[in-house]
């Protein structure tokens, strides 16, 4: 081991470098003392031989003292520490040679004096040589090769000279000198082996620690990175937000939520690889915007971005604008140029530095809610709008959350009221049935239309309950179904995909002794878009249970005619927007004409809703529509009023 540690190539490895440092450090704590001992010893010899020999004979001693002083200085810990590693390595590698040569020089000089000295002078030389060689070997414990040379140069020539000058009588001295040197040498080698073992295991430990730290870092990185974009993932960016809301030492950053417009379209049209390219490009572009402190993907095509808290309102708006522009730059995927834009909602995460009104700050959820409200507004504005959450938004948000709490906490049946609007066969003038419209009251006094509360039902997860409550109420208060008429019920999008919806509505209707065929379930295209395959299966199940199905608001949105062909439908309801345009817009007439003839070919009934005057009625009739609904024919009314109106008409 000693040999391998001392091999020249060893010193050049990384392990060798740490070893060099630690060897040099150890030597620096011993060699200056050893030099001092040499200076002292040589000084004593010179003093003792003054007068015995001519002064030039003593000059090499003086030179040696100077050399030892220089070496002592050279090996001072402070000096060693300053030297570059390569120099230290060179010093260690050349140490055996330089120790060997200087020992040879010193021993030769001392022994030449020994030959001419008297008894006392010889005794001094013997003692000093022994002491210096033993101390030297100990001092060079961490340079065993140098120690060995020192021991050999001190012992062998000295023993020969002692025996030659003093005769055989001096043998006990020679034996003691040799034994002492041998013992110290062996101890030294033992020390050194221990030292090397210790140093190597220390290095191994340090390496393991470094490895463990690197591993921990990699694990942390992996757990917090979004594998697709390389930015932070949802967990990590939320953790960062949590960190920010508890900080009070700096103005809190702005939280921006960025949502891509048209991303789904790119995914659907060009495939997921194109979508992935877009997400990666957006993440890179966010990264390049000034003022961004952190960003990550919350999921899908939504990104959370933290802008520097030092920015003021206009500053953050400018940064968001720059980002919005950057996102607009085309992304090229497989030679296809993809374009899209993003909507951005921004909210200042409040903290102790904010104004008095803001003291207390918001938890992460509240910050996200506000940025999300601003994003929602931006989305509604369209065209890559940027919206900063303002005081009036705060008021609206508080109002909305109060309403949400009320909706969440209420017994639906207590706060629900239904209005029924008749629909007619205009040829016979007969009422065919009624459509039920829900009204909800937050306080038992004001009644809200679905446009104002349906989102609360969605947010609180009570849409299924609402639909069941509407049907139960209809079964109880509007006996049109007993008279062979139809009751139309509006389904919310979730009813169209929710597991178990068919069974629960079917049971509800049958338990009341009603025939599901008396119920026309209406849903709009948005309900079908979210998960078309699941929606289709569910519609077939509704149909199998005996319900009839209508596609509502047809002509208002995307309205693909192929949907009419592919879905199990009984009726299509033409949107009231088209009804309103009928008398004035030839385009609307053409569209309605197409829908009517297509529905006729497929054997699907066709109803037009929102008919408000005679002109619209006449045009619709001329286009071949018999089934109609609208204020012109009858307004939505309470059950008793609606039924009484029908009875009057029949009578
Ligand atoms: P919808 O199914 O298209 O219902 C027609 C809406 O137009 C109703 O508004 C109705 O009162 C109104 N309306 C009827 N005739 C006319 C007319 O001649 N002119 C005009 N301008 N409007 C007319 P309402 O009650 O506010 O309902 C709005 C929407 O809310 C409904 O649209 C339906 O999608 C949804 N909805 C209503 N009740 C329920 C319900 O119980 N459950 C679910 N999930 N959605 C419902
Ligand atoms: Ca409807
Ligand atoms: Ca409608």
Tell me the average pLDDT across 596-622. 96
Rounded to an integer, what distance in angstroms lies between the CA atom of residue 201 and that of residue 178? 34
Q: Is residue 394 part of a domain?
A: no
Determine whether the shortest distance from the Cβ of 433 to ligand 1 is under 6 A: no
Tell me how crowded residue 172 is: count the other CB atoms within 10 A of its CB.
8
Q: Is residue 319 part of a domain?
A: yes
Kind plus residue range of the DSSP H or E element containing 430: strand 430-440
Tell me the average pLDDT across 58-85. 94
Given this model, what pLDDT does residue 2 score? 36
Given this model, what pLDDT does residue 167 score? 87
Given this model, what pLDDT does residue 19 score? 80
Residues in the chain: 651
- Same domain, residue pair 496 and 600: yes
Determine whether the shortest distance from the Cβ of 370 to ligand 1 is under 6 A: no
- Same domain, residue pair 273 and 173: no
Q: State the sign of the Cα–Cα–Cα–Cα dihedral 456, 461, 467, 468.
A: negative
Cβ-Cβ contacts under 8 Å for 197 (sequence gap 6 or more)? 1
Closest alpha carbon to 282 in 318, 332, 327, 323: 327
Percent of the chain with pLDDT over 90: 70
Task: Kindly give the distance from the C-alpha atom of residue 381 to the centroid of ligand 1, in angstroms, as a whole number.
Answer: 24
Given this model, what pLDDT does residue 462 score? 96
Determine whether the shortest distance from the Cβ of 495 to ligand 1 is under 6 A: no
> For residue range 89-145, what is the model confidence (pLDDT) as tens digits?
999 989 989 999 999 999 999 999 999 999 899 999 999 999 998 999 888 887 888
Determine whether the shortest distance from the Cβ of 97 to ligand 1 is under 6 A: no
- Same domain, residue pair 506 and 608: yes
Given this model, what pLDDT does residue 111 score? 93
User: 């009422």: which residue's tokens?
Assistant: 431
Q: Is residue 403 part of a domain?
A: no
Tell me how crowded residue 428 is: count the other CB atoms within 10 A of its CB.
9
Name the residue with the closest Cα to ligand 1, atom 8: 437
Within its chain, how far is the Cα of 367 from the centroid? 18
Q: Is residue 615 part of a domain?
A: yes
Q: Is residue 108 part of a domain?
A: yes
- Same domain, residue pair 170 and 243: no
- Same domain, residue pair 273 and 157: no
Query: Taking all residues of the chain, what is their mean pLDDT, rounded to a whole number?
Result: 90
pLDDT at 359 over 70: no
Name the residue with the closest Cα to ligand 1, atom 13: 610
Q: Is residue 448 part of a domain?
A: no
Kind plus residue range of the DSSP H or E element containing 552: strand 548-554
Overall number of domains in the chain = 3
- Same domain, residue pair 260 and 135: no
Task: Kindly give the distance from the C-alpha atom of residue 379 to the centroid of ligand 1, in angstroms, as a whole number.
Answer: 24
Q: For residue 457, which atom of ligand 1 is closest to its CA?
A: 44
Radius of gyration of the chain measured on its C-alpha atoms: 48
Rounded to an integer, what distance in angstroms lies between the CA atom of residue 574 and that of residue 552? 7
- Same domain, residue pair 260 and 162: no
Percent of the chain with pLDDT over 70: 96
Determine whether the shortest distance from the Cβ of 612 to ligand 1 is under 6 A: yes
Q: Is residue 333 part of a domain?
A: yes
- Same domain, residue pair 10 and 159: yes
Task: Kindly give the distance from the C-alpha atom of residue 437 to the centroid of ligand 1, in angstroms, as a whole number.
Answer: 6
- Same domain, residue pair 250 and 318: yes
> For residue range 168-197, what is the model confidence (pLDDT) as tens digits?
888 888 898 889 889 988 888 888 888 888
Q: Which ligand places an atom closest to the C-alpha of 521?
A: 2
> For residue range 257-315, what is the model confidence (pLDDT) as tens digits?
999 998 999 999 999 999 999 999 999 999 999 999 999 999 899 999 999 999 999 99
Task: Kindly give the distance from the C-alpha atom of residue 374 to the centroid of ligand 1, in angstroms, as a whole number.
Answer: 28
Tell me the average pLDDT across 387-398. 93
Q: For residue 419, which atom of ligand 1 is closest to its CA?
A: 25
Name the residue with the closest Cα to ligand 1, atom 7: 610
Tell me the average pLDDT across 199-204. 86
> For residue range 486-515, what is the model confidence (pLDDT) as tens digits?
999 999 999 999 999 999 999 999 999 999
Determine whether the shortest distance from the Cβ of 421 to ligand 1 is under 6 A: yes
Q: Domain with 367 in it: what CATH number?
A: 3.30.70.270
Of 419, 437, 610, 642, best ligand 1 pocket probe by most atoms within 8 Å of the beta carbon? 437
- Same domain, residue pair 363 and 433: no
Q: Domain with 468 in it: what CATH number?
A: 3.20.20.450
User: Which residue range(s) make up the domain with 280?
Assistant: 234-389
Q: For residue 573, which atom of ligand 1 is closest to its CA?
A: 3
For residue 267, give both structure tokens. 């995914």
- Same domain, residue pair 474 and 360: no
Given this model, what pLDDT does residue 382 score? 87
Closest alpha carbon to 158 in 193, 198, 108: 108
Task: Kindly give the distance from the C-alpha atom of residue 163 to the centroid of ligand 1, in angstroms, as a whole number.
Answer: 126
- Same domain, residue pair 504 and 579: yes
Last residue of a domain, one of 369, 389, 409: 389
Given this model, what pLDDT does residue 435 score? 98
Q: Could you tell me if 547 and 577 are in contact, meaning their C-beta atoms sit under 8 angstroms apart?
A: no
Given this model, what pLDDT does residue 181 score? 87
Q: Is residue 20 part of a domain?
A: yes
């Amino acid at each position: 081991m000693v040999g391998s540690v001392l091999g020249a190539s060893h010193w050049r490895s990384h392990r060798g470098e740490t070893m060099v440092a630690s060897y040099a450090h150890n030597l620096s704590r011993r060699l200056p003392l050893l030099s001092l001992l040499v200076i002292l010893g040589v000084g004593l010899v010179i003093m003792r031989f003054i007068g015995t020999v001519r002064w030039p004979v003593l000059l090499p001693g003086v030179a040696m003292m100077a050399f030892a002083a220089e070496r002592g200085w050279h090996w001072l810990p402070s000096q060693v520490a300053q030297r570059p590693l390569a120099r230290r390595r060179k010093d260690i590698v050349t140490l055996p040679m330089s120790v060997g040569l200087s020992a040879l020089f010193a021993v030769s000089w001392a022994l030449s004096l020994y030959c001419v000295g008297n008894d006392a002078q010889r005794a001094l030389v013997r003692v000093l040589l022994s002491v210096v060689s033993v101390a030297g070997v100990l001092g060079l414990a961490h340079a065993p090769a140098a120690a060995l040379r020192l021991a050999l140069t001190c012992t062998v020539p000295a023993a020969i000279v002692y025996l030659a000058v003093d005769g055989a009588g001096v043998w006990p001295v020679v034996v003691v000198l040799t034994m002492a040197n041998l013992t110290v040498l062996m101890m030294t080698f033992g020390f050194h082996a221990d030292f090397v073992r210790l140093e190597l295991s220390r290095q191994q430990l340090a390496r393991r620690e470094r490895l463990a730290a690197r591993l921990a870092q990699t694990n942390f990185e992996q757990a917090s990175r979004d594998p697709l974009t390389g930015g932070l993932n949802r967990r990590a960016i939320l953790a960062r937000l949590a960190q920010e809301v508890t900080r009070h030492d700096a103005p809190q950053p702005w939280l921006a939520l960025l949502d891509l417009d048209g991303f789904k379209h790119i995914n659907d049209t060009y495939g997921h690889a194109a979508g992935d390219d877009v997400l990666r490009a957006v993440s890179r572009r966010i990264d390049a915007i000034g003022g961004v402190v952190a960003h990550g993907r919350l999921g899908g095509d939504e990104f959370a971005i933290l802008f520097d808290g030092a920015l003021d309102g206009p500053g953050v708006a400018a940064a968001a604008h720059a980002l919005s522009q950057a996102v607009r730059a085309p992304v090229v995927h497989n030679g296809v140029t993809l374009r899209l834009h993003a909507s951005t909602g921004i909210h200042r995460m409040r903290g102790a530095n904010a104004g008095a009104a803001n003291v207390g700050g918001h938890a992460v959820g509240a910050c996200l809610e506000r940025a999300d409200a601003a994003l929602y507004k931006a989305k509604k504005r369209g065209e890559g709008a940027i919206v900063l959450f303002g005081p009036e938004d705060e008021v609206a948000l508080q109002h909305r959350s109060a309403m949400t709490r009320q909706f969440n906490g209420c017994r639906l049946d207590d706060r629900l009221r239904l209005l029924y609007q008749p629909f007619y066969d205009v040829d016979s003038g007969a009422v065919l049935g009624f459509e039920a419209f829900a009204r909800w009251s937050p306080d038992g006094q004001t009644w809200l239309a679905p446009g104002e509360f349906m989102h609360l039902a969605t947010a609180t997860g009570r849409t299924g309950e609402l639909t069941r409550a509407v049907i139960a109420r209809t079964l109880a208060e509007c006996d049109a179904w007993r008279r062979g008429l139809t009751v139309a019920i509006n389904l919310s999008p979730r009813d169209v995909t929710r597991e178990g919806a068919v069974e629960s509505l079917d049971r509800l209707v049958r338990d009341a002794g009603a025939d599901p065929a008396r119920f026309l379930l209406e849903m709009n295209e948005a309900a079908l878009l979210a998960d078309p395959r699941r929606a289709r299966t569910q519609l077939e199940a509704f149909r199998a249970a005996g319900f009839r199905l209508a596609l509502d608001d047809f002509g208002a949105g995307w309205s693909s005619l192929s949907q009419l062909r592919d879905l199990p439908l009984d009726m299509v309801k033409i949107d009231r927007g088209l009804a309103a345009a009928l008398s004035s817009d030839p385009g609307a007439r053409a569209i309605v004409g197409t829908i009517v003839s297509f529905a006729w070919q497929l054997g699907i009934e066709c109803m037009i809703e929102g008919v408000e005057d005679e002109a619209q009625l006449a045009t619709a009739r001329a286009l071949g529509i018999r089934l109609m609904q609208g204020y012109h024919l009858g307004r939505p009314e309470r059950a008793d009023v609606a039924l009484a109106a029908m009875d009057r008409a029949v009578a």
